[in-house]
């Protein structure tokens, strides 16, 4: 694709984004002079693209209302980005309940690509591998996802029908702060005005939504992803583990992510005693403890177990097994 043609298409993309664009703005975005922009505008008009010119101090160019773009024209980079996004989303479990939508969309894009580019993209996709699959996940209904996203954007309260993990069903009002995708699942976090507390819900357990009158103001400096990860890390589980680990939060997060542990870097004299290096307090809630000794060993940092005593026994058992293996002589051949 020649450079002038590419810039004419780039101009069309800018106008398609909507609104009135000044001549100076278009020239700056396209990195050309204003005279060249006018020539590109003429090219679009010759192609029957209805570009309107608005005169005056606040004038510029815009597309006529109701104009529909012709079929997508993608560069090599754009086509690869779209297909990789669809494949990655499907393999990560980030799709709607209409699970075939990403596959059919990818197939449609693949069919209209030039054969040369199609073969090259097929080679990329065939050689691509994804590590650490998220495991089983249930996708949300498309209508639920879109409805909640709209409520988040416009700060509208919604009513949701929710089925909890134990099968209990309820209908509640939510002030949604944001949507978060994590480990193959979608979550919405927000305030439940009925109880005056923040709540996090899995979207695949929401069977219906309804937008309510009014609006709300989300908290200043809100971080929905952090709220969801903290909620997952502090959920009610069988065991409550409290540790002191010598290291910063960043170092500890390499083995204990935010969705698993809450890390407090506040100084702790009881853990450090005369050692002035950084010690952090770590809280973990888990159904099982058998995975923790290996994780703590892989951190390769001094730690103190405050609770539970059961974890001390499991760590000691792992240490004994490692010592036994280290002292074992290799078998004779």
Q: Minimal CA–CA distance to 284: which of 239, 251, 326?
A: 239
Q: Helices in 239-291 by DSSP H: which ranges? A: 249-252, 269-272
Mean pLDDT of all residues in 274-283: 77
17 or 75, higher pLDDT:
17
- In the predicted structure, residue 153 carries a pLDDT above the cut 90: no
User: How many domains does the chain contain in total?
Assistant: 4
pLDDT of res. 306 = 93
Task: Examine the domain organization and report whether 170 and 106 are in the same domain.
Answer: no
In a domain, 51, yes or no: yes
pLDDT of res. 287 = 77
Task: Examine the domain organization and report whether 243 and 309 are in the same domain.
Answer: yes
Mean pLDDT of all residues in 237-254: 88
Task: Tell me how far apart the alpha carbons of residues 24 and 52 are, in angstroms, rounded to a whole number.
Answer: 16
320 or 59, higher pLDDT:
320
Provide the residue range defining the domain that includes 121. 76-126
pLDDT of res. 126 = 63
Task: Tell me how far apart the alpha carbons of residues 161 and 205 are, in angstroms, rounded to a whole number.
Answer: 8
Task: Examine the domain organization and report whether 261 and 306 are in the same domain.
Answer: yes
Task: Tell me how far apart the alpha carbons of residues 152 and 296 are, in angstroms, rounded to a whole number.
Answer: 39
pLDDT tens digit sequence for 288-305: 888 899 999 999 999 999
Q: Which residues contact 151 (CB under 8 A, 6 or more apart)?
A: 157, 158, 176, 209, 211
pLDDT of res. 269 = 42
Looking up residue 151, the CATH number of its domain turns out to be: 2.30.30.520
Band of pLDDT at residue 210, cut at 50, 70 and 90: very high
pLDDT of res. 235 = 65
In a domain, 132, yes or no: no
């Amino acid at each position: 694709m020649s450079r002038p043609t590419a810039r004419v298409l780039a101009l069309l993309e800018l106008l398609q984004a909507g609104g009135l664009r000044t001549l100076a703005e278009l020239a700056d975005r396209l990195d050309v002079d204003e005279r060249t922009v006018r020539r590109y505008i003429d090219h679009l008009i010759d192609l029957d693209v209805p570009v309107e010119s608005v005169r005056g101090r606040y004038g510029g160019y815009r597309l006529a209302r109701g104009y529909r773009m012709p079929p997508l024209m993608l560069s090599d980079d754009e086509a690869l980005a779209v297909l990789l996004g669809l494949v990655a989303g499907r393999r990560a479990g980030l799709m709607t309940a209409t699970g075939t939508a990403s596959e059919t969309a990818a197939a449609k894009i693949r069919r209209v690509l030039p054969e040369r580019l199609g073969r090259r993209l097929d080679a990329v996709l065939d050689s691509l591998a994804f590590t650490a699959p998220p495991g089983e996940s249930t996708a949300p209904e498309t209508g639920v996802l879109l409805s909640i996203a709209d409520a988040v954007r416009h700060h509208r309260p919604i009513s949701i029908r929710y089925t909890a993990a134990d099968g209990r069903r309820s209908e509640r009002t939510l002030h949604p702060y944001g949507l978060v995708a994590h480990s193959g699942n979608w979550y919405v976090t927000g305030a439940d005005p009925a109880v005056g507390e923040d709540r996090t819900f899995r979207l695949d357990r929401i069977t219906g939504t309804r937008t309510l009158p009014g609006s709300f103001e989300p908290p200043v400096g809100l971080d929905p992803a952090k709220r969801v990860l903290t909620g997952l890390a502090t959920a009610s589980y069988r065991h409550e583990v409290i540790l002191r680990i010598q290291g910063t939060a960043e170092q500890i997060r390499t083995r204990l992510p935010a969705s698993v542990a809450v890390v407090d870097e506040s100084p702790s004299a009881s853990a450090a005693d005369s050692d002035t290096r950084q010690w952090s307090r770590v809280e973990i809630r888990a159904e099982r403890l058998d995975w923790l000794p290996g994780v703590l060993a892989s951190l390769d940092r001094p730690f103190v177990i405050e609770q539970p005593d059961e974890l001390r026994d499991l760590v000691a058992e792992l240490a004994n097994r490692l010592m036994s293996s280290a002292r074992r002589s290799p078998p004779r051949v």
